[in-house]
Chains A and B, each alone.
Chain A
Amino acid sequence: MLKPFVAVLARDLLLAWRGRADVLVTLGFFVIVACLFPFGVGAEPNQLRAIAPGILWVAALLATLLSLHRLFGQDFADGTLEHLLLSPEPTVLWVLAKILAYWLTTSLPLVVAAPGLGMLFDMEQGGLMVLCLSLALGTPILSLLGAVGAALTLGLRGGGMLLALLVLPLFVPVLIFGAGAVEAHLSGTGASAHLLLLSGGALGALVLGPWACAAALRVAAE
């Protein structure tokens, strides 16, 4: 049962390693988008400190959105996806493996880089920890929901813009609780409620997301 999961995971991680530039481009995008905001709103430290959690979360969300096409695009183009769908292994299993590989190669670097960016915005030490934690809990939801959108728009003309329209409204709750966790911590009310809700959302998405994604892939590959 676990063998196809591990095999697909290892394959996708190896492919990501061979194409390291792609992963770094996503990380670079995240950093640059976050660095643009001070130019737009001014370099006043108090203001920057206040909007930092929101900025970093929006940047992480956009970085996820723009890299979602990598999840199935290549496999769809070269026919691997069709073979995987034809294989007797349960679709949900290898879909989950692909999403996990995607999260490890795309979102995990963002989680690791986020504290560094937080320092640019003069966030305090404890806030950085909570930011890291909220990103670690929230980005799996983004990956799982985004995978459904990526599967639905597979092979369509103008798929990128369409994907944004489909998934961004669904990302709003994650943004609210993710950025809210940091703000709650900084204002002294404690971030545990936000973080628990994010964990609950992640578990819910983990249960339902791969099914919807598998159904969408079957529709797309027909």
Chain B
Amino acid sequence: MTMQSSRGFHLFHFAAPNTFYPLAGRLAPWFAGLAALLAALGLWLAFFVAPTDATQGEVYRVIFIHVPAAWMSMFVYLVMAFWSGMGIIFNTRLSALMARALAPTGAMFCFVALWTGALWGRPTWGAYWVWDARLTSQLLLLFLYFGYIALTEAIEDPRRGDRAGAILALVGAVNVPIIYFSVKWWNTLHQGASVSLTKAPSMAATMLWGMLIMALAAWAYTIAVALWRVRSLILERERHTDWVSAELDRQGARP
């Protein structure tokens, strides 16, 4: 991922799929281990150390999963748009693969954020779903992810799929803030801020730490999964090349 700029000798050294493939293979287990470690630490803080919330009781503990998932779902879309832009500007094959590899993880986090939000909303607001600005824009973000995945999967020619997906991701990224603010305004026109999420009471330090550590775990998980997924995408895309044949022979993956 970001390794390509840290090597001074050649900016695009790792932009070639055949050099990035082994690098991704070496990095992914480290990030996976880091994710497991941070998640264990974060969940321990969340369930055993953090105090019970004075107003919401035990149910507030869902934020240790909910908030990092919501952050991640928005951030992954931006990263996707970034790689899409890189792919269009520099015409690098790997950039579009990176965007494709990130999309399912982003959609997953988006869904997790909505699902845990519903579970939290039932005891707190008395309803699984309210048309709150944040919930609604999160739902629309999920639709944007589905649209991206559906479009890239529907196009059979891989290069056309990459480029069409890149254009869609960039159009979506321009629209995400517009959607967010319009939904926010629409909501305030219809009902008062009776269910605002922003009125969070000042948090205990352990709560904040637990949430931050869980957010870092989500980052590490996303990187690890994206690297593994991009490795499969590279093998699939480059299956006609010699280095993939050599690699498959080396792994004993072919009879």
Contacts and interface: CB of A to CB of B under 8 A. Distances in A.
A156 B155 CA distance: 7
Interface string B144-165: 1011001100110001100110
A44 B172 CA distance: 39
A153 interface: yes
Nearest to A170: B175
A217 to B, nearest CB: 10
A216 B174 CA distance: 16
B174 A208 contact: yes
Contacts of B119: none
A166 B147 contact: yes
B243 interface: no
A77 interface: no
Interface string A199-222: 001000000100010011001101
A157 interface: yes
A187 B103 CA distance: 42
A166 B167 contact: no
B185 A152 contact: no
Given A165-B150, A180-B189, A172 B164 contact: no
Interface in A102-159: 145, 148, 152-153, 156-159
A156 B183 contact: no
Contact of A148 (B150, B163, B167): B167
Contacts of A220: 160, 164
- Chain A interface SS verdict (over half): helix
A50 B54 CA distance: 41
Given A162-B150, A173-B178, A180 B186 contact: yes
Contacts of A201: 178
Contacts of B143: 165, 168-169
A170 B160 CA distance: 22
Contact of A212 (B167, B178, B185, B189): B167
A153 B167 CA distance: 12
Interface of A: 145, 148, 152-153, 156-159, 162, 165-166, 168-170, 172-173, 176-177, 180, 183-184, 201, 208, 212, 215-216, 219-220, 222
17 contacts: A152-B164, A152-B167, A152-B168, A153-B154, A157-B154, A158-B154, A162-B151, A166-B147, A170-B172, A172-B140, A172-B179, A173-B182, A176-B185, A180-B189, A212-B167, A212-B170, A215-B167
Interface of B: 88, 140, 143-144, 146-147, 150-151, 154-155, 159-160, 163-164, 167-168, 170-172, 174-175, 178-179, 182-183, 185-186, 189
Top 7 A-B residue pairs of the complex, sorted by shortest distance between their CB atoms: A173-B182, A169-B143, A219-B163, A176-B186, A166-B147, A165-B147, A169-B140
